[in-house]
């Protein structure tokens, strides 16, 4: 089993990813940490707790950062995408939390768990990367003790995919570019699952409908939650389904063979019209130092076998 800490801003696609992390037999979900992003951290934390109860998880859920590292950064949220409760109107139907929130802030819980289990834990981060950056700032030593980091974020301009909050920026990066740059350049191994692949994995109505009647009510609620999301995409992109962005981040751990990875250091543009753009240097060694020099080669997903990812939803509940 793969032991995972899930850092999330639920969020409809965050809930779909949580379904995989909570219910797939090959995952051992150890803790959930919430973060600002799709909505305020109050709302995403409440959603995280309710979803933990829905999936019958008896694990710590800790509240994370309320905003980006720099106060000056935009705080747009994405309620227009995810609905007023950030869960497509189903949040009030979630069961009451079965345990109180962990008293520690999210970044502290991450540091504590990683230090308790050096070399074992994988971090899956699918909101702005603020909690991970705060954890690294508090205890840089955790970088050498985390087994793997997987992030949903970024856009590398492949296969005609652009950013989703600017022509070049993806929402999780734009919500805290400084945190993203710190996390992507830290000396730990990161797999970056960006829009270039998450927008290739389209969950169609039939894929979502297969969740109904399963998971002791959880599948039906997920189906209902995705109705709002589907309307948003129907109006904007007409893709005939939804992007389950965050679920692809969980999937890369279960079916790595479904993803093509490219190695090279990744930086985030922090100023100007390209703010929030993720840029990988895969050219190899350069004669002159560049902004990528001296940073670890991370793995960016550049292609995906979508049916293999979608099939994972038939392996849960
Ligand atoms: C990311 O932004 C959020 O709205 C989604 O939950 C996902 O993590 C996609 O850009
Ligand atoms: Ca998310």
Question: Which one of 35, 74, 153 would you pick to mutate in the ligand 1 pocket, going by the greatest count of ligand atoms within 8 A of its CB?
Answer: 153
The tokens 């940490």 sit on which residue?
33
pLDDT of 75 above 90: no
289 CA → ligand 1 middle, Å: 33
9-19: average pLDDT: 98
Ligand 1 binding site (Cβ under 6 Å of any ligand atom): 11, 13-14, 38, 78, 81, 126, 152, 164, 170-172, 245-246
221-250: average pLDDT: 91
* DSSP code, position 102: B
Q: Which atom of ligand 1 is nearest to the CA of 11?
A: 6
pLDDT digit string, tens, across residues 140-181: 999 999 999 999 999 999 988 899 999 999 999 999 999 999
The predicted complex's ipTM stands at 0.99
pLDDT of 237 above 90: no
Q: Beta strand pairing status for 190-193 and 298-304?
A: parallel
pLDDT of 240 above 90: no
Q: Active site includes 245?
A: yes
* pLDDT classification of 66: cutoffs 50, 70, 90: very high
pLDDT of 104 above 90: yes
Of 208, 225, 213, 209, which is closest to residue 90 (Cα–Cα)? 225
Q: What secondary structure, in 3-state letters, does the chain show? A: CEEEEEEECCCHHHHHHHHHHHHCCCEEEEEEEECCCCCCHHHHHHHHHHHHHHCCCCCCEECCCCCCCCCCCCCCCCHHHHCCCCCCCCHHHCCCCCCCCECCCHHHHHHHHHHHCCCCCEEEECCCCHHHHHHHHHCHHHHHCCCEEEEECCCCCHHHCCCCCCCCECHHHHCCHHHHHHHHHCCCCEEEECHHHHCCCEECHHHHHCCCCCCCCHHHHHHHHHHHHHHHHHHHCCCCCEECHHHHHHHHHHCHHHEEEEEECEEECCCCCCCCEEEECCCCCCCCCCCCCCCCCEEEEEEECHHHHHHHHHHCC
247-251: average pLDDT: 98
- In the set 36, 82, 228, 245, the catalytic residue is 245
**Quick one: pLDDT at residue 74?**
80
pLDDT digit string, tens, across residues 20-65: 999 999 999 999 999 999 999 999 999 999 999 999 999 999 999 9
* pLDDT classification of 274: cutoffs 50, 70, 90: very high
Average model confidence (pLDDT) across the chain: 96
């Amino acid at each position: 089993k793969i032991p995972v800490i899930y850092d999330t801003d639920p969020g409809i696609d965050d809930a779909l990813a949580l379904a995989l992390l909570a219910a797939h037999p090959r995952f051992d979900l150890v803790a959930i940490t919430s973060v600002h992003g799709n909505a305020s951290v109050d709302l995403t934390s409440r959603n995280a707790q309710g979803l933990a109860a829905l999936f019958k998880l008896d694990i710590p859920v800790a509240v994370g950062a309320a905003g980006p590292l720099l106060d000056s950064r935009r705080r747009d949220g994405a309620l227009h995408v995810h609905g007023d409760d950030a869960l497509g109107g189903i949040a009030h139907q979630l069961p009451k939390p079965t345990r109180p929130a962990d008293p520690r802030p999210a970044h502290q819980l991450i540091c504590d768990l990683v230090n308790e289990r050096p070399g074992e834990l994988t971090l899956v981060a699918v909101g702005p990367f603020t909690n991970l950056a705060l954890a690294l700032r508090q205890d840089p030593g955790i970088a050498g003790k985390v087994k793997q980091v997987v992030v949903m974020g970024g856009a590398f301009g492949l296969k005609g995919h652009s950013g989703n909050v600017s022509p070049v920026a993806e929402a999780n990066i734009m919500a805290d570019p400084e945190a993203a740059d710190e996390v992507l350049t830290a000396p730990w191994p990161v797999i970056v699952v960006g829009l270039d692949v998450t927008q290739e994995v389209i969950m169609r109505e039939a894929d979502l409908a297969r969740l109904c009647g399963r998971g002791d009510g959880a599948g039906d609620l997920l189906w209902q939650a995705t109705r709002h999301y589907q309307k948003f995409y129907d109006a904007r992109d007409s893709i005939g389904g939804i992007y389950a962005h965050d679920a692809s981040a969980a999937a890369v751990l279960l079916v790595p063979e479904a993803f093509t990875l490219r190695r090279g250091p990744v930086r985030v543009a922090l100023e100007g019209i390209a703010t929030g753009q993720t840029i990988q240097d895969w050219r190899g060694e350069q004669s002159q130092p560049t902004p990528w020099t001296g940073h670890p080669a991370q793995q960016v997903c550049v292609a995906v076998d979508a049916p293999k990812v979608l099939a994972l939803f038939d392996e849960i509940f």
